[in-house]
Amino acid sequence: MQKVAFEVKKIIHRNDENGFTVLRGKFDVNRFPELPATQQTIVGYFVSVFELDEFEGEGMFASHPKFGKQFQLTWAKRLIPTSKKGLQAFLVRCVKGVGKKTAEAITETLGTDAVARIQQDWRVLLDVPKISEKKAKQIAAAIQESQAFEEVFTFLAHHGIGYQKAISVYENMKTSAISNIQSNPYCLAVIKSITFEEMDRVAKKMDFPYNHPHRIQQGILAYLEKKAKQEGHLFMFAHQIKEQLPSFLLEIGAYHELLHDPIDEHLHQLEREGKVVIDQNRNGEQCVYLAHYAHIESKIVQHIQKRMNAQPLCSESDIAACLQVYESQHGIQLATKQKEAVYMALRQPISILTGGPGTGKTQTINAILFCLETIRPDAVIHLCAPTGKASKRLAEVTHREAKTIHRTIGLNGFDDVHRVQPINGDLLVVDEVSMVDAYVFYKLLSATPSNMNVLLVGDYEQLPSVGAGLVLRDLIESRVIPVTTLTEIFRQAQDSQIVTNAHKLIKGKTTKDPDGLFFDHHKGDFYFIQHQHEQTVKQLIVKSIEKMMTRYGYTLDDIQVLTPTKVGALGTHALNALIQETFNPKREGQEQIMLKNKQFRTGDKVIQTVNNYELEVFNGEVGRIVGVDQNQKGNLFVQVSFDNRQVRYPFEMAEELELAYALSVHKSQGSEFPVIIMPLHQSHLFMLNRNLIYTAWTRAKEKVICIGSQELLDLAIQRTDKTVRHSLIQEKLTEAQKAALPL
């Protein structure tokens, strides 16, 4: 490491988002004679930087494989210029409210040490012509603010915290930021974008003890958050935390020492501070929640309890009469279970309708809606689903308006401070509930009055939600909420190999069973192409897409490649690149952009990967890039078409997009596509199970093409999704019902 001072001669590259800058600079060889006297390439992070600015800092010379020798700064601090011209430029650039004329007047009156004099006593500014007391205070405050942020930024950059995060730290802690971090680097946890790993690196650099209580407690919170996000647990058992925390800290932390300290007192301290909640299950085991997950769980139970005694929407006799009319008008005979579901939905305050493909869930929903609207013409009904695709499909099959859950209740963030818009009405139908996590379900119940009937519709055999919780399964297994399970496959669905094979699959039938999976290619709706070599499978995916487009007239929007993983030769990243290059290659005049090593072109099929409440685009929505433009300031925007609306992404938000020619099976939940193409390869073995394949196959409306090994398919069918997500929803609902029963 070398200390340096330098003057900026030319700015080569500047990223205004994170402050990263490449510049040509001239070192001050009078202060540091060992440094080169010629101009050098200098790289580092700066709050702001202009030509002729002067800085001091620390760093080292390194050789970049592409750009050659450069001096890489670990931190840089702006120096206040000593020349009158330089000082005037500094005041204009760095002090809010100071223009060129004011800067000239300040330097003429106070000299080149004006900034130091102002910092010592703001009243010296009153000697400057045309500066009032109010203006003088504003200028002094702006100088202090500028200097303070520079110090905080320099301090954080020295400890590996980037520009945008430094802004958040300063906005939260102001001038006390440095002293706060020095006394407890884990206070950075108040900044949501700063990870435990980053805090730990700061702590280690400051020689903070590896077993300090602040580190252990923040480590517990990070462990619980990771388990919620990656494994879906609402709580972890105390004994799991004690067993796993030491290795967790060793794995993700900056220290190499293995923690041996007892954890109990730290858990109780976090409980006293309200950061965790410690509960017990019926076996007396301690269950440790992050406070907001404990709140979510208890509120779900309370909301369900509150609505259990609501009055039925319709009488049994009215429903019976309406069902006869419905069957007569549609020329059908509803199955017994379907009729049971109609009575259940209209007479029970909260109920669940579940079943696989072809069992008549849609017909049942339509019968429920028909009966309610006939019996009570003024009834207010809301239809919603977790994703845009799922809500659009619900609208199409019911011929009524349906929205995403987020739009229905006005949900715009993951935090209890994010209020929802209460919805009033008689019946709420929620489709694809297997995708709904605990937080969204809690917010949905919060928005609905206790006298509104709620019908939850879903296929519990599908993959669980991406977010924490296993809501649908918990509710079904509690046996507190009435459930109707449709099992009969309707005659018209029996002709579909997609439907029949999906049902055989979920029952554990393999290709070797006499009544097991069977693929009749002549029927044209289900193909299994046996090949195991990765390169051949990739080629067959491309050929299958070409065949579907040329022979059958499908478009790229109709065809969806689904794969279990993101990585590997047959993961989403590699397949997206292959399909993009094959079907949307770079053409002359075509707009092309790079975002964090992701290459997008006009015409590309893309998917939104997170909920963006500002743009009202939600995780899982698929669209197409239709253009790139820029405003008068030169800021780039990406235009994406989603169904019938266009969304204009600021360039930095476009990083939330990914190519969508190939999706993970998880990402496809709630959607339907005419054609599904799915590789089944040995490289996917650790991911493959019965429920994942079932979820993928049931996304297809018309054709499924599987490419891979039938032996691997049979092996995967023997493995069911053994997802276990810690939650006491089921247990608490059961206990609450027992407590409510008369003695």
The answer to whether residues 317 and 378 belong to one domain is yes
Residue 465 has pLDDT above 90, yes or no: no
User: Is 89 within 8 Å of 99 (Cβ atoms)?
Assistant: no
Please list, in sequence order, all residues whose beta carbon lies within 8 angstroms of the beta carbon of residue 543, skipping any fewer than 6 positions away.
Answer: none
Please list, in sequence order, all residues whose beta carbon lies within 8 angstroms of the beta carbon of residue 386, skipping any fewer than 6 positions away.
Answer: 404, 405, 432, 435, 436, 440, 620, 670
Please list, in sequence order, all residues whose beta carbon lies within 8 angstroms of the beta carbon of residue 14, skipping any fewer than 6 positions away.
Answer: 20, 21, 22, 49
Quick one: which of 184, 194, 137 has its CA closest to 163? Answer: 194
User: Is 557 within 8 Å of 624 (Cβ atoms)?
Assistant: yes
Q: Are strands 2-14 and 605-608 parallel, antiparallel or unpaired?
A: unpaired
164 within some domain: no
Task: For residue 484, give the H/E element and its range.
Answer: strand 483-486
Rounded CA gap, 301 and 282, in Å?
16
The answer to whether residues 448 and 506 belong to one domain is no
358 assigned to a ligand binding site: yes
Residue 382, CA distances (Å) to 365, 403, 421, 452, 453 in order:
12, 8, 13, 10, 10
Q: What is the pLDDT of residue 743?
A: 39
Q: Which residue has the tokens 């619900």?
A: 394
- With H, G, I as helix, E, B as strand and everything else as coil, classify residue 336: helix
Residue 718 has pLDDT above 50, yes or no: yes
216 within some domain: no
236 within some domain: no
Which residue, of 492, 519, 554, is where some domain finishes?
Answer: 492
Task: Bin 556: left if φ > 0, else alpha if -120 < ψ < 50, else beta.
Answer: alpha
Quick one: which of 337, 680, 637, 675 has its CA closest to 505? Answer: 680
Which amino acid, one-letter code, is at 177? A
Q: What is the pLDDT of residue 272?
A: 97
In which band, very low, low, confident or very high, does the pLDDT at 415 lie, cut at 50, 70 and 90? low
What is the Cα 267 distance to its own chain's centre?
Answer: 28
356 assigned to a ligand binding site: no
Which residue, of 452, 467, 492, is where some domain finishes?
Answer: 492
Q: What is the pLDDT of residue 416?
A: 54
Q: What is the pLDDT of residue 632?
A: 64
**Start-end of H helices in 469-552:** 471-478, 491-494, 497-506, 534-550
Rounded CA gap, 299 and 416, in Å?
11
Residue 417 has pLDDT above 70, yes or no: no
Rounded CA gap, 9 and 50, in Å?
9
Task: For residue 591, give the H/E element and its range.
Answer: none
The answer to whether residues 546 and 624 belong to one domain is yes
Q: Which residue has the tokens 């915290």?
A: 161
Beta bridge partners of 41: 24
The answer to whether residues 449 and 507 belong to one domain is no
Q: What is the pLDDT of residue 413?
A: 62
The answer to whether residues 607 and 668 belong to one domain is yes
Instruction: Quick: pLDDT tens for 28-86.
Output: 999 999 999 999 999 998 888 888 889 999 999 999 887 889 999 988 888 888 788 88
Q: Are strands 636-642 and 673-680 parallel, antiparallel or unpaired?
A: unpaired
Q: What is the pLDDT of residue 692?
A: 94
Residue 380 or residue 412, greater confidence: 380
Rounded CA gap, 617 and 439, in Å?
18
The phi and psi torsions of 206 (rounded to 5 degrees) equal -90, 10
CATH number of 704's domain: 3.40.50.300
In order, the DSSP letters of 639-665 are EEEETTEEEEEETTGGGGEEE-SEEEH
The answer to whether residues 401 and 482 belong to one domain is yes
Least trusted range by pLDDT, from 169-183, 404-418, 580-594:
404-418
Please list, in sequence order, all residues whose beta carbon lies within 8 angstroms of the beta carbon of residue 141, skipping any fewer than 6 positions away.
Answer: none
- The overall average pLDDT reported for the chain is 91
Residue 391 or residue 415, greater confidence: 391
The answer to whether residues 445 and 552 belong to one domain is no
Which residues in 329-341 are b (16+ Cβ under 10 Å) and which e? eeeeebbebbbbb
169 within some domain: no
The answer to whether residues 478 and 505 belong to one domain is no
The answer to whether residues 465 and 591 belong to one domain is no
Which residues in 12-48 are b (16+ Cβ under 10 Å) and which e? eeeeeeebebbbebbbbeeeeeebeeeebbbbbbbbb
- Segments forming the whole domain that contains residue 33: 2-159
Q: Which residue has the tokens 């009078």?
A: 30
Read off the tokens for 137.
Answer: 């205070």
Look at the chain and report how many structural domains it folds into: 3
Instruction: Quick: pLDDT tens for 199-216.
Output: 999 999 999 999 999 999
Quick one: which of 355, 369, 406, 361 has its CA closest to 384? Answer: 406
Read off the tokens for 492.
Answer: 């018209």
Read off the tokens for 171.
Answer: 């906005």
Q: What is the pLDDT of residue 590?
A: 79
431 within some domain: yes
The answer to whether residues 526 and 413 belong to one domain is no
Rounded CA gap, 675 and 107, in Å?
72
The answer to whether residues 475 and 444 belong to one domain is yes
Which residue, of 441, 462, 492, is where some domain finishes?
Answer: 492
Mean pLDDT over 19-34 rounds to: 93
Task: Give the CA dihedral 561, 566, 571, 577, nearest 10 degrees.
Answer: 80
Q: What is the pLDDT of residue 468?
A: 92
Rounded CA gap, 660 and 562, in Å?
10
176 within some domain: no
The answer to whether residues 370 and 512 belong to one domain is no
Residue 350, CA distances (Å) to 480, 482, 510, 656, 689 in order:
10, 7, 37, 36, 32
Mean pLDDT over 125-131 rounds to: 93
286 within some domain: no
734 assigned to a ligand binding site: no
Beta strands in 126-275 (DSSP E): 235-237
Read off the tokens for 440.
Answer: 């969204």
Least trusted range by pLDDT, from 140-149, 233-242, 548-557, 592-601:
592-601
Residue 164 has pLDDT above 70, yes or no: yes
Instruction: Quick: pLDDT tens for 515-538.
Output: 999 999 999 999 999 998 999 999
253 within some domain: no
Q: Are strands 2-14 and 54-64 parallel, antiparallel or unpaired?
A: antiparallel
Rounded CA gap, 448 and 264, in Å?
40
Beta bridge partners of 2: 59
Instruction: Quick: pLDDT tens for 357-391.
Output: 989 999 999 999 999 999 999 999 999 999 888 89
Residue 629 or residue 69, greater confidence: 69
In which band, very low, low, confident or very high, does the pLDDT at 680 lie, cut at 50, 70 and 90? very high
Total-model pTM: 0.85
